[in-house]
A and B are shown apart, each in its own frame.
Chain A
Amino acid sequence: AQSVAQPEDQVNVAEGNPLTVKCTYSVSGNPYLFWYVQYPNRGLQFLLKYITGDNLVKGSYGFEAEFNKSQTSFHLKKPSALVSDSALYFCAVRDNTGGFKTIFGAGTRLFVKA
């Protein structure tokens, strides 16, 4: 069965510092992996995805993520955090064996302090 785990409910980082939001997954086939961001009272916005190819994926707003097959992880990173990055971040996974369902992690709330 598919599953995705975001082990941290909350991540705190100072503005200008690098940030990492963790995600690990479990799928039966090869994974399609996604990161979304949600601002208060808004829907989810797509940040980036990994389907195949280069393990380092670059996305919107300076975010990137690294796919690690051996560790089944897809951590979201940014070299220098901004206060405006404060939001709720969701990791999502879908397998490529014909499964239809995108499974979302519980979300990690990122606080960036000035």
Chain B
Amino acid sequence: KAGVTQTPRYLIKTRGQQVTLSCSPISGHRSVSWYQQTPGQGLQFLFEYFSETQRNKGNFPGRFSGRQFSNSRSEMNVSTLELGDSALYLCASSLAPLAVNTGELFFGEGSRLTVL
């Protein structure tokens, strides 16, 4: 069974640009959640999608948005990039929504974004 796939793995942008990251969950998983990982802040929850609906959102500004498609693939978008957005963005999938999930999260390898 294929794991969680994130694309692109690495990208470099400049301040003010926007970026879109993609995540394909494990087949059959309908919950996709996104995390931002930085050395100073650790892993911070961005949002979760289940069945094309945003279920929960972390404490990030509105520049961070996402969506989920009918095949459970998810994208996140960051507009008007700032230097502080440089991070590893991790996607995780699970079978059930986070609110009822007692199992583990399955993570992709991440998309490393560098903002210059």
Q: How large is the interface on B (under 10, 10 to 19, 20 to 34, 35 or more residues)?
A: 20 to 34
The answer to whether B104 touches A46 (Cβ under 8 A) is: yes
Q: Chain B residues near A42 (CB, 8 Å)? A: 109-110
How distant is B46 from chain A, measured CB to nearest CB, in Å?
11
A57 at interface (Cβ–Cβ under 8 A)? no
List 9 additional contacts besides A43-B6, A100-B99; criterion CB under 8 Å.
A34-B105, A41-B110, A43-B92, A43-B110, A44-B92, A46-B105, A49-B103, A99-B99, A107-B43
Q: Chain A residues near B43 (CB, 8 Å)? A: 90, 104, 107
The answer to whether A41 touches B42 (Cβ under 8 A) is: no
A80 at interface (Cβ–Cβ under 8 A)? no
B108 at interface (Cβ–Cβ under 8 A)? yes
In the complex, A45 Cα to B42 Cα: how many Å? Answer: 16
B102 at interface (Cβ–Cβ under 8 A)? yes
A87 at interface (Cβ–Cβ under 8 A)? no
Q: Chain A residues near B99 (CB, 8 Å)? A: 98-100
A27 at interface (Cβ–Cβ under 8 A)? no
